[in-house]
Every structure is written in structure tokens, then in C-alpha cells.
């Protein structure tokens, strides 16, 4: 059962509060970084860094209206973004990426036609398909990927009609037991320790009307947390600081509203007993990614404010509260952020998305960086 609403704008109410400083707030150091070379319509869906001189961002380019485009992978070398050649692959979108080193990275995506999702590996020169159990099965779907400190790779998705995790080291792979939740979809996987992995997504409501937010932990067996209830609510990302300290972000689609209305942003906190829903400082839009600081505390959240699209929108952790922070002005018509991630070895962060919320020309790939 979802917890209570945690705050009103400008008033601190403990661990789940938000302060909204309004449109005039300074950017706190976020700066747009050009990501040239992609073919509109293009967008970056996820971003991951191994250090200040190495990051990958993945998504889709060449989308034409409702028609799907092709996969997009961009590499940061410490001074500029460059597009990686994916012409030998035929995937419509890359949905997540995890970076190990300059010669090792992993990505997952969607197939070009009805079929299985790919698992891709980077060897320092090119992206290639990786073999795994279930390769070639049409119902295999991979949505998220993460790499732990021991370099083990974790992929969340589904196989055989059940939400599952695929775990391996690049040579040997195994599917873990199915998630004990019917009609579930997994969108994000986060490694807290070599033996503790968390996932987020959504699950159909037992009443048959919509779906609820889903968060679960794997540490040798599954623990499924109570659902985050709402009308068509999905959890796109999470940060587990501990079993009793989990932040989750997403969108509640709800019903009604003006054309193009994306729903309501979702921010929720798990204290080991119940979820507390928190007002994020704006009411229409979405929250898309969450990143921790060097101390392992949830620090930044990427989002989109439908009611003020002139700049990118973030939530920043200020002690026990969250503050709305706006990105740089004048760098994109209406930037939309899909993800935020820390830069290891620094106190900085990357974010990624697209130059407008609508997948129509001339929308391009977009990134911002915070150098702290």
C-alpha cells in the first residue's frame, strides 16, 4: 500500500520533502554538451560513465513519425561525443548501457522486427552480438543492463512470458528464477553489491484496470516490495541505499488531460515498511532517472516539467529534502531528459535525452554535464 503524501512546496517534512525554487533558480553548474552526428529524429535513452574520460549514451536515431529508426550509441572520450558505427546491426533502439572500461561495455535493445532482443558487447573497437541462453527465442526481451563491482553483468527483461534476470560474466550466462509477480515488466536493474540486485518496472493490477509500480530485490531469492499504487503507474529507475532506504521515480499516466499530457511525476521512498509518495515540486510531467553521489546517497533526479519546458528539470537532494533545479537556458528548444548518472572518480554527473519531447524533426540527441 502506498504511503502518504510527503510535502508541499517550500516546506521541509523530513526525508521525503521537496523545495521548489521556481523558474528563476540558478543552474547549479549544469551545462549543455553538444552530441553531434546523429540523424534526426534522435534521442538518448540511457547514459553510463566509467570516469571523466569515458562514457556511453545509447538510444535511437533516424526515426520517421511512427516508424522506428535504428540504434544509436555515442562515446565520450573526455573531450567530445562521437557516434559509434552500428551499421552492421539492425536494431531499432538501444534501451540501456553499462560501462566497465575502454574495452568493455554492454548494451541491450529492441529487435528490428518481431523477435528477440539483442545483448551487445563492446570490445574497444566495435559492438557485437553476445551469445546467451535463449538466443533466437522470439519472446526474449531485454530492457536494462548493469555491471557490478566484480564485473558480473545483470540484464533485466523477460523470457518465456515471465519477468526475469539474466546473469553472466561474458562467457557463461544463466537465467535466474522468474520474478514471482504475474504480468510484470522490468525496465531497470541496479547492482547494490555483488550479491544484491534491484529491479523496477510495473505490474498489472489485480482489479484489471491499469498497473502499479513494481520494485523487487534479488539476493539469492526474490523479495517483491508492496506495489506503488496509482493509475497506470510505472517505475523507470530506483536507487537502493539499503533495504530500508529506497528511492523510486517514474510516471503515473492517469486518465484525461490535454493532448500530449504525459501524466504525473512519481517520487516514492521505501523505509522498510511502507512506501511514501512525495510531491516532486511540479505536478505534470515525469521523473526518469536517479543517481547517487560519492557517498552512495540518492543525489540527483532527471525529469521533465510539462508546464515549463524552456529548460531541463532536475531534483537535487538537499539534506533531507529535494529541490527543483533548472538546467541551462537557451541550449535547446524544449529539452527532455531520460536519464542521469554519476561520473566515477569525480563529484560530477551526466544527463541525457533529446532536444524536444516530441519525436519529430529536428529533434536531436542531447546531453548535459555537472562539473562539481
Considering the domain boundaries, does residue 177 fall inside one?
A: yes
Considering the domain boundaries, does residue 9 fall inside one?
A: no
Considering the domain boundaries, does residue 83 fall inside one?
A: yes
The span from the CA of 248 to the CA of 277, in Å, is 10
Specify the higher pLDDT residue, 235 or 258.
235
pLDDT at 13: 28
Phi, psi of 191 (to 5 degrees): -95, 115
Region label for 307, one of left (φ > 0), alpha (ψ between -120 and 50) or beta (otherwise): alpha
pLDDT at 258: 59
The grid cell for 140 is: 526474449
Whether the model clears a pTM of 0.85, i.e. scores above it, the answer is: yes
Q: List Cα–Cα distances, 72 to 6, 14, 61, 90, in angstroms.
A: 39, 41, 6, 11
Mean pLDDT confidence for 100-111 = 93
Q: pLDDT per residue over 188-203, tens digit each?
A: 999 999 999 999 999 9
pLDDT band at 19 (very low <50, low <70, confident <90, very high): very low
Considering the domain boundaries, does residue 248 fall inside one?
A: yes
Question: Taking 80 as the threshold, does the pLDDT of residue 16 lie above it?
Answer: no
Considering the domain boundaries, does residue 1 fall inside one?
A: no
Q: pLDDT per residue over 289-299, tens digit each?
A: 999 999 999 99
Considering the domain boundaries, does residue 8 fall inside one?
A: no
Question: Taking 60 as the threshold, does the pLDDT of residue 24 lie above it?
Answer: no
Weakest mean pLDDT among 109-118, 204-213, 286-295, 355-364: 109-118
Question: Taking 60 as the threshold, does the pLDDT of residue 99 lie above it?
Answer: yes
pLDDT band at 161 (very low <50, low <70, confident <90, very high): very high
Asked if residues 228 and 268 have their Cβ atoms less than 8 Å apart, the reply is: yes
Considering the domain boundaries, does residue 215 fall inside one?
A: yes
**Beta-carbon count within 10 A of 213 CB:** 29
3-state SS, the chain, equals: CECCCCCCCCCCCCCCEEEECCCCCCCCCEEEECCCCCCCCCEEEEEEEEECCEEEEEEEECCECCECCEEEEEEECCCCEEECCCCCCCCCEEEEEEEEECCEEEEEEECCCCCCCCEEEECCCCEEECCCCCCCCCCCEEEEEEECCCCCEEEEEEECCEEEEEEECCCCEEECCCCCCCCEEEEEEEEEECCEEEEEEEEECCCCCCEEEEEEEECCCEEECCCECCCCEEEEEEEEEECCEEEEEEEECCCCCCCCCCCEEEEEEECCCCEEEECCCCCCEEEEEEEECCCCCEEEEEEEECCCCCCCEEEEEECCEEEEEECCCCCCCCCEEEEEEECCCCCCEEEEEECCCCCCCCCCEEEEEECC
pLDDT at 10: 28
Domain count, the chain: 1
Average pLDDT, whole number, for the chain? 89
Considering the domain boundaries, does residue 11 fall inside one?
A: no
Q: Give percent above pLDDT 90 in the chain.
A: 77
pLDDT at 117: 87
pLDDT at 110: 81
Residue 166 β-bridge partners: 155, 175
Asked if residues 256 and 305 have their Cβ atoms less than 8 Å apart, the reply is: no
Q: Look up the CATH number of the domain holding residue 182.
A: 2.120.10.70
pLDDT at 255: 63
The span from the CA of 10 to the CA of 23, in Å, is 14
**Structural domain for 206, as ranges:** 17-370
Specify the higher pLDDT residue, 254 or 149.
149
For the chain, how big is the Rg over CA atoms in Å? 19
pLDDT at 281: 94
pLDDT band at 222 (very low <50, low <70, confident <90, very high): very high
pLDDT band at 66 (very low <50, low <70, confident <90, very high): low
Amino acid at each position: 500500500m502506498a504511503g502518504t503524501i510527503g510535502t508541499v512546496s517550500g516546506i521541509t517534512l523530513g526525508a521525503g520533502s521537496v523545495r521548489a525554487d521556481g523558474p528563476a533558480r540558478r543552474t547549479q553548474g549544469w551545462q549543455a554538451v553538444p552530441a553531434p552526428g546523429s540523424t534526426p529524429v534522435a534521442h538518448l535513452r540511457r547514459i553510463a560513465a566509467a570516469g571523466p574520460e569515458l562514457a556511453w549514451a545509447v538510444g535511437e536515431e533516424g526515426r520517421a513519425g511512427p516508424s522506428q529508426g535504428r540504434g544509436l550509441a555515442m562515446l565520450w572520450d573526455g573531450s567530445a561525443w562521437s557516434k559509434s558505427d552500428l551499421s552492421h546491426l539492425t536494431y531499432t533502439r538501444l534501451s540501456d548501457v553499462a560501462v566497465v572500461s575502454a574495452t568493455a561495455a554492454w548494451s541491450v535493445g529492441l529487435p528490428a522486427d518481431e523477435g528477440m532482443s539483442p545483448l551487445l558487447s563492446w570490445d574497444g573497437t566495435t559492438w557485437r552480438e553476445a551469445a546467451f541462453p535463449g538466443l533466437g527465442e522470439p519472446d526474449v526481451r531485454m530492457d536494462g543492463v548493469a555491471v557490478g563491482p566484480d564485473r558480473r553483468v545483470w540484464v533485466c527483461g523477460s523470457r518465456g512470458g515471465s519477468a526475469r534476470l539474466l546473469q553472466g560474466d561474458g562467457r557463461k550466462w544463466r537465467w535466474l528464477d522468474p520474478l514471482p509477480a504475474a504480468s510484470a515488466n522490468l525496465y531497470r536493474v541496479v547492482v547494490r553489491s555483488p550479491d544484491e540486485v534491484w529491479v523496477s518496472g510495473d505490474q498489472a493490477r489485480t482489479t484489471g484496470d491499469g498497473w502499479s509500480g513494481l520494485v523487487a530485490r534479488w539476493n539469492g531469492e526474490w523479495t517483491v516490495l508492496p506495489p506503488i499504487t496509482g493509475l497506470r503507474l510505472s517505475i523507470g529507475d530506483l536507487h537502493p541505499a539499503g533495504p530500508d532506504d529506497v528511492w523510486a521515480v517514474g510516471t503515473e499516466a492517469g486518465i484525461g488531460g490535454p493532448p500530449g499530457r504525459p501524466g504525473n511525476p512519481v517520487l516514492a521512498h521505501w523505509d522498510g515498511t511502507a512506501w511514501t509518495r512525495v510531491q516532486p515540486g511540479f505536478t505534470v510531467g515525469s521523473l526518469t532517472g536517479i543517481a547517487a553521489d560519492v557517498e552512495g546517497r540518492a543525489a540527483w533526479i532527471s525529469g521533465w516539467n510539462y508546464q515549463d519546458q524552456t529548460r531541463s528539470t532536475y531534483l537535487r537532494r538537499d539534506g533531507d529534502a529535494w529541490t527543483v533545479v533548472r538546467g541551462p537556458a537557451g541550449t535547446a528548444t524544449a529539452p527532455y531528459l531520460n536519464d542521469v548518472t554519476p561520473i566515477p572518480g569525480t563529484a560530477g554527473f551526466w544527463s541525457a535525452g533529446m532536444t524536444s519531447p516530441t519525436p519529430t524533426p529536428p529533434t536531436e540527441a542531447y546531453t548535459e554535464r555537472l562539473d562539481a
